Chain A
Amino acid sequence: MDQLLQQLINALSLGGIYAMLALGLAIVFSIVGLINFAHGDIMTFGGYGIFLSMVFGFPPVAALCIGLGAAVVMALAMERTAFRVMRGADVISLLITSFAVSEILKVLFQNGISARPVPISFPASWSGSYQIGGMTIGVAPTASILVTILSLGCLTFVLRRLAIGMAMRAAAEDFDMLRMLGVRANRVVAAAFAISGLLAGVAAVIWTAQRGSVDPMMGFFPVLKAFIATVLGGLGSLGGAVLGGFVIGTLEVLTQAFLPDALAPYRDAIVLSAVIAVLLVRPDGLLPARSGARS
């Protein structure tokens, strides 16, 4: 029973990271139709931001803030330099552009910083643990869950209560109509990229705090899972992305924890089969996006 509870905490912690990454992908996709393959590199850049600021002697908390900022700046720079000129292109052209951006950034990280992982050494207290009713719970997973809840809470507030958030939801539904209400397209798109970058930055912070190293491929694997999460949840659906992230995270942790040894190598295959099974029954995902008027 204790073990199940502990594994559930692990699942929430991992699922939360996937959820934030998936949400970042979904926000951008829903507004500009871009499946941003370079999203992982935004996260990686955030990680390097943390690494470099610690190298330059910033205290850990300041380094984390710099990492967050770095991810936002990278997301905005990406939009401005690569994706703005491609605005309105079809999904495939945009996808290929994002592949190119991703490759370029990986090579830059590799040659500019290091092909090898670089270490990030946070204070030991950050990787401590505490006891609740006989259960040992890590500080890091707990912080990860709290940060995730806080981030998703803030984002919900922005999307539900603030005009810019409403405009982004409107843009997700019918971007052209929003422009016919006088709203500057670049502002909404930039806001979407900024939010997606911020979420990737939060993910990078949690990720590096838990993993202790940054490498050029750091963002690639979690974002791959986040892609699957967005498809599972319903491509372009924000709620679906969050749900998909938690589902994938939970499945991964539970298969890792409870699958018999003989089946362990098939873990990913089992998780993906489950996703395919869901999509067979619900081809548009768990919480399909509203189709709106966009083609």
Chain B
Amino acid sequence: MSDTVLDVAELDVRYGPVRAVRGISFGVARGGITALLGANGAGKSSTLMAIAGVVPIASGRVSLFGQPTSKATPDAIVRSGVGICPEGRRIFASLTVEENLIVAGTAVATPQTAATRRAEMMERFPILGERRRQLAGLLSGGEQQMLAVARALMGAPRLLLMDEPSLGLAPQMVDTIFSIIEELQGEGISILLVEQNAALALEVANHAVVMANGEIAGQGAPADLQSDDLLKSAYLAA
């Protein structure tokens, strides 16, 4: 299993009586991008949140870097080398851009390292550098997404969990975000990408998992899935 950073086996997620995720198994290869696809309500975000430790695992097993996460809290999981860009970006709107990055660095880096990484982030995303003293809530959607990515990178994660990074963005900005994703992969970061925009996700992914009604409808190489009817039916199933 040393070639995978994330292993999900027989994962179940329940909200009270509702079984949102039903015994799914998949993995993210080291340095690879796995795309988690499916219609709204298929269980993608629940899966991601269970991996992040935010919602409890009802049964099954999640292993990060070879270690089971069963009782770990989200903060411990993040400190083990995971970056999270949650759905809706959830940047701290009342903090400035720079403060968002400072907060993101507090738990995952020494003060010196955090300062260096902040400088790197401002270089990588020049717009954040320009607006460092602006309240994050005043940024455009795309800029907020960049901030969310930069924030997740402050701990130099080995695995990045991204939930709907393109949602609600202008087409041009969507392209930018996806080129960033490819760049990150190029730097050796493994990525689990939850995306509704299946076409784009399949372009960057090396593995794709299609979910429907909490179950895995199919998984495999993007090229195989693209030609398949599976994807279409999974989206229509919802």
Sample of 25 A–B contacts (CB below 8 Å) = A163-B103, A163-B111, A164-B106, A166-B103, A167-B106, A169-B99, A170-B92, A170-B100, A170-B103, A173-B93, A176-B54, A176-B74, A177-B92, A180-B52, A180-B54, A180-B75, A181-B75, A181-B106, A181-B107, A181-B108, A182-B75, A182-B107, A184-B75, A290-B93, A292-B93
Total chain B interface residues with beta-carbon distance under 8 A: 30
> Would you call A180 and B86 a contact (CB within 8 A)?
yes
Q: Which one of B75, B86, B102 contacts A166 once the chains associate, using CB atoms below 8 Å?
A: B102
A window 148-184: CB within 8 A of B: 163-164, 166-167, 169-170, 173-174, 176-184
Task: Answer whether residue B151 sits at the interface, using C-beta atoms and an 8 A cutoff.
Answer: yes
> Would you call A169 and B95 a contact (CB within 8 A)?
yes
Q: How far is the CB of A223 from chain B (nearest CB, A)?
A: 26
> Would you call B92 and A169 a contact (CB within 8 A)?
yes
Residue ranges of A at the interface with B (Cβ–Cβ < 8 Å):
163-164, 166-167, 169-170, 173-174, 176-185, 290, 292-293
**Residues on the B chain within 8 Å of A183, using CB:** 75, 103, 106-107
The docked-state distance in angstroms from the alpha carbon of A181 to that of B93 is 15
Q: B133-176 toward A: CB 8 Å interface, digit per residue (1/0)?
A: 00001000000000000011011000000000000000000000
**Residues on the B chain within 8 Å of A169, using CB:** 92, 94-95, 99
> Would you call A173 and B103 a contact (CB within 8 A)?
no
B window 91-120: CB within 8 A of A: 92-95, 99-100, 102-108, 111
Task: Answer whether residue B88 sits at the interface, using C-beta atoms and an 8 A cutoff.
Answer: yes
> Would you call B78 and A182 a contact (CB within 8 A)?
yes
User: Contacts A174-B92, A177-B92; is A182 near B99 (CB within 8 Å)?
Assistant: no
Q: How far is the CB of A72 from chain B (nearest CB, A)?
A: 22
> Would you call B104 and A181 a contact (CB within 8 A)?
yes
The docked-state distance in angstroms from the alpha carbon of A52 to that of B139 is 54
Task: Answer whether residue B79 sits at the interface, using C-beta atoms and an 8 A cutoff.
Answer: yes
**Residues on the A chain within 8 Å of B94, using CB:** 169, 173, 290
Task: Answer whether residue B59 sits at the interface, using C-beta atoms and an 8 A cutoff.
Answer: no
Count chain A CB atoms within 10 A of each CB in B78, B79, B88, B92 and give the residue with the most.
Answer: B92
The docked-state distance in angstroms from the alpha carbon of A173 to that of B89 is 13
B window 32-85: CB within 8 A of A: 52, 54, 73-75, 78-79, 84
User: Contacts A181-B78, A182-B75, A183-B75; is A163 near B93 (CB within 8 Å)?
Assistant: no
Q: How far is the CB of B111 from chain A (nearest CB, A)?
A: 8
**Residues on the B chain within 8 Å of A184, using CB:** 75, 107
**Residues on the A chain within 8 Å of B154, using CB:** 181
> Would you call B90 and A181 a contact (CB within 8 A)?
no
Q: How far is the CB of B121 from chain A (nearest CB, A)?
A: 14
The docked-state distance in angstroms from the alpha carbon of A130 to that of B67 is 69
User: Contacts A180-B74, A184-B75, A185-B75; is A166 near B108 (CB within 8 Å)?
Assistant: no
**Residues on the B chain within 8 Å of A176, using CB:** 54, 74
The docked-state distance in angstroms from the alpha carbon of A181 to that of B108 is 8
> Would you call A167 and B86 a contact (CB within 8 A)?
no
Q: How far is the CB of B63 from chain A (nearest CB, A)?
A: 19
The docked-state distance in angstroms from the alpha carbon of A217 to that of B203 is 67
The docked-state distance in angstroms from the alpha carbon of A174 to that of B94 is 11
The docked-state distance in angstroms from the alpha carbon of A167 to that of B105 is 10
Q: Which one of B73, B90, B104, B106 contacts A174 once the chains associate, using CB atoms below 8 Å?
A: B90
Q: B8-50 toward A: CB 8 Å interface, digit per residue (1/0)?
A: 0000000000000000000000000000000000000000000
Q: How far is the CB of A146 from chain B (nearest CB, A)?
A: 29
> Would you call B102 and A181 a contact (CB within 8 A)?
no
Q: Which one of B84, B100, B102, B105 contacts A180 once the chains associate, using CB atoms below 8 Å?
A: B84
**Residues on the A chain within 8 Å of B78, using CB:** 179-182
The docked-state distance in angstroms from the alpha carbon of A164 to that of B106 is 8
Q: Which one of A163, A177, A290 contacts B102 once the chains associate, using CB atoms below 8 Å?
A: A163
Knowing that A163-B106, A163-B111, A166-B95 touch, tell me 20 more A-B residue pairs with CB under 8 angstroms: A163-B105, A164-B106, A170-B99, A173-B95, A176-B54, A178-B103, A179-B75, A179-B78, A180-B78, A180-B86, A180-B90, A181-B75, A181-B78, A181-B108, A181-B155, A182-B78, A183-B106, A184-B75, A290-B93, A293-B90
The docked-state distance in angstroms from the alpha carbon of A167 to that of B152 is 15
The docked-state distance in angstroms from the alpha carbon of A104 to that of B95 is 39
